[in-house]
Structure 1
Amino acid sequence: MSQAVATRDEASEVLTALLIPLADRQLLLPNTAVAELIAYRSPITSDGMPDWFLGQIAWRDLSLPLLSFELASGGSQPPREDVRVAVLNAIGGRPLLKFIALLVQGIPHAQKVSSDLPRADVALAPLELDAVQLGEQVARIPDLLALEQLLADAGLIE
């Protein structure tokens, strides 16, 4: 019986995550953070917005803010080849913000991860909580609450 308990405990430590490719890095998010991956659609833009705010896109009868994580965290403008949009579940509890759209480069890949992932010894950019080593590559853990706060601080959401 203790063997069955140990197996269940070990299984609970494994999480399905998504490795999200960006132009200059890979993000690692829990599978549940991503509501849907959709084809890129041109956003509705406005003058005077921060460069990381790419505009609003329509999704399921909603208007979502489309962001460039690279620009928001001090990186460079992402290339526009093979881009898609990851619709992320908002986690900050704001009544008018349920989802955020994030520009991604390519197709996210499912990745089984355990709680004992080795940390990567790399400098973190703004909006990154941590970095982990996944084999040969480094994956960054984004600060989704800070991303939502960035939208609020820019006056783009309430």
Structure 2
Amino acid sequence: MLEHRSSHLTGLLLPLADRTLILPNVAVAELIDYQPGTFDLDSPPWYLGQVNWRDRQIPLLSFESACGGKTVIGERARIVILNTLSGRANLRFIALLVQGIPRSCKLDSQLSYVDVPLCALEQAAVQVVDQVAKIPDLLALEALLLGAGLVVE
């Protein structure tokens, strides 16, 4: 007898200062405590420097600032380490500043898209239970770093 299983994907809701992002949980490598990055003063405002993770230097970004908002480092600030998608050996992970601990949620084919303004780094917005979550464009985040010359080719 074949068992019918509906396909569910587990997502993570990432709380930012001015929005919530949603990603499949496989996109997130780890959640770490906030640490200030080391950076130059002439860096773009969205670039918060390099953070140390598993003996690697990972570029830390403020998604809000990259979308034209302000960088907020609240008392619940954490860092999410994201797996990159491009397959570049010199950019395997990106660190993203978040405001709190990501929440797990079940995603299914019933997700409904919401028509709200999006920044260039967002692909879509979806309704998840009682809130709107935005789907970030991870390849665009990588391109932002590469375009700013913050990753050595």
Q: Structure 2 length normalisation: TM-score?
A: 0.95
In the alignment, residue 99 of structure 1 is paired with which amino acid?
A: F
CA deviation after TM superposition for structure 1 residue 107, in Å: 0.5
Mapped contact 1:74–1:126 kept (Cα < 8 A)? no
The sequence identity of aligned pairs, in percent, is 56
Q: How does 1:57-96 map to 2 (within 5 A)?
A: 57-96=51-90
In the alignment, residue 39 of structure 1 is paired with which amino acid?
A: D
Which among 12, 28, 31 is matched to residue 18 of structure 1?
A: 12
Cα distance between partner residues in 1 of 2:55 and 2:125:
35
| Runs (5+) with no aligned partner, structure 1 | none
Where 1:124 maps in the other structure, the secondary structure is: coil
Cα distance between partner residues in 2 of 1:16 and 1:45:
34
Which among 18, 24, 30 is matched to residue 36 of structure 1?
A: 30
Deviations along 1:87-123, whole A, 9 cap, x unmatched? 0001111111111000000000000010230111211
**Alpha-carbon RMSD:** 1.1
In the alignment, residue 18 of structure 1 is paired with which amino acid?
A: L
CA deviation after TM superposition for structure 1 residue 143, in Å: 0.1
Cα distance between partner residues in 2 of 1:84 and 1:124:
24
Where 1:48 maps in the other structure, the secondary structure is: coil
Mapped contact 1:24–1:78 kept (Cα < 8 A)? no
Identify the residue that residue 45 of structure 2 maps to in structure 1: 51
Q: How does 1:96-115 map to 2 (within 5 A)?
A: 96-115=90-109
Which among 129, 138, 149 is matched to residue 155 of structure 1?
A: 149
Which among 139, 142, 146 is matched to residue 140 of structure 2?
A: 146
Name the larger-Rg structure. Answer: 1
1:125 and 2:119 matched? yes
Moved more, 137-146 or 42-51: 42-51
| Runs (5+) with no aligned partner, structure 2 | none
Aligned length: 152
